Structures are given as C-alpha cells and as structure tokens.
Structure 1
Amino acid sequence: MEICKLSFSKLENIGKSYLFNQNKINSFEKFEIQLNQFLNSGAYIYNNNFINTKHLITTLNNIKIEIYSNEHPPPHFHVKTNNCRASLSIEDCSILENSGFSKKVIKNIQDWFKHSKIDLIRVWNETRPSDCAVGKIRI
C-alpha cells in the first residue's frame, strides 16, 4: 500500500493542521483539553514525512463513521464501535469488510448512506493528498 504524504507546511496553508504546544501543557486538565481539540479537528498525525488523517463524518447511536486519508482502492468509509468494525464502498454502500455488525445495523447505515453519499464524496475528495494512490471521486 502506498503511503500518502503531505508536509506540515502544506497542511498549515490549507487550514488542516493542529500542532501540540508542549509549553502550554502544564497540567493533566490542559492536556485533556488540547487532546480533545486535536481529536475533534480532523486528527492529522504528523511524524516527519507521514501524515495520516481520520475525519469523523458523524456518529449514529454510538457508531462512528469516518474517512481516512491514507487509503487503498476502492473509495470507502469506515464504521466502528468499541467492539465492531466495517468498511463500506462509497459508490454503492456495499460491504467490503465487516467484523461484528449485525445485518440490522448495516441496513441502518445503508439507509443513512442514501441521504449522505454526497457528503461522503465531498469529504473523501477534500482529504485526498496529491500523491495518494486512491484519487478523488467524480460526481
């Protein structure tokens, strides 16, 4: 799998960065606040030349729906809880992988998808690094 890369300066230019300031963290509470802000900001993880992004689309009944920037074909989104994980195609919401979700829950996600496909495509396209193996989806 090819790793998608962006420099931190590119992320700063497009407003998609969050840099921890260790000088401002002098208590556990302040660390908790900064960590919470980070996790709710699109969660860019910067490590020299590698950045991996998880973008939270929504939460439905404690089920997180996310899109990651470092991905493989076909374009898809992730659905997860503490105990279950699944990947579904953005094209038609077919199940690519399912570990633990019941048919009823998958059906509810597929019903949600009918009204949210355009939003998923928009987020997918916005989070594609220029050198990512999986490009943008044409609408």
Structure 2
Amino acid sequence: MPKISEFFGIRIFMYWNDHNPPHFHAEYNDLKALISIQDGVVIEGMLPNRQLKLVLAWCEIHKSELMENWLIAEQHGEIHKIKPLQ
C-alpha cells in the first residue's frame, strides 16, 4: 500500500484498485481509519479527535489531488505523493 503523505505522526495510504467510494487510509499509532475523499468523513475505524481534524483539513486542501490519485490507482498507475500539512 503506497504511502502518499505523512505529517505529525499520521501516515496516509492509498491502495491500487481499492473498493468504492473513493477513500484513503489514515493511520496514527495503532489506530486506523478509512476517510471518504469527497465527503471528508470517516467510513470505518477511528483516530483521536486532534489527528482526525488534521486529516480532514488535509483532505479538504488536497481533495483534487486525492481524486486524481484515486483515478490513477484504478488504472494501476503510479500514485503520487501529496504535500503534508506543515
């Protein structure tokens, strides 16, 4: 699973040819969540409130890049890194 970004101890991943709806995986310590790209909501799992707010803000900023990566992943292409929060 390619890591597309990392910030403040949070790791963001995206699988090739993953199931719909378009989403990414966020991990912080041992906690994991699937986040909807279009809605910016947790589909499954959980993260601490502070980290979730950071992930959702990052998602909103990079929504178009995330969707582009999703479309590339569906075609088994090379998923691009996305700039982290700073």
Flag the structure with more relative contact order, 1 or 2, with Cα contacts below 8 A and sequence separation at least 6: 2
Q: Does 1:56 align with 2:19?
A: no
Among the aligned pairs, what percent are the same residue?
Answer: 29
Off by >6 Å, runs of 4+ in structure 1: none
**CA distance in structure 1 between the aligned counterparts of 2:48 and 2:42, rounded to whole angstroms:** 12
Number of matched pairs: 76
Partner of 2:62: 116
TM normalised by structure 2 equals: 0.77
**CA distance in structure 2 between the aligned counterparts of 1:124 and 1:55, rounded to whole angstroms:** 12
**CA distance in structure 2 between the aligned counterparts of 1:94 and 1:83, rounded to whole angstroms:** 20
1:93 Cα offset (Å): 1.1
Query: Per-residue CA shift, 1:81-121, capped at 9, x if unaligned?
Result: 3411000001111110124x112211111111121111111
Pairing 1:1-139 to 2, within 5 Å after superposition: 54-99=1-46, 101-129=47-75
SS at 2:25's partner residue?
strand
**CA distance in structure 2 between the aligned counterparts of 1:89 and 1:81, rounded to whole angstroms:** 17
**What is the Cα-based RMSD across aligned positions, in Å?**
1.6
Unpaired runs of 5+ residues, structure 2, are 77-86
**CA distance in structure 2 between the aligned counterparts of 1:72 and 1:65, rounded to whole angstroms:** 17
TM normalised by structure 1 equals: 0.50
**CA distance in structure 2 between the aligned counterparts of 1:116 and 1:95, rounded to whole angstroms:** 16
Query: Per-residue CA shift, 1:22-77, capped at 9, x if unaligned?
Result: xxxxxxxxxxxxxxxxxxxxxxxxxxxxxxxx222110112111110131121110
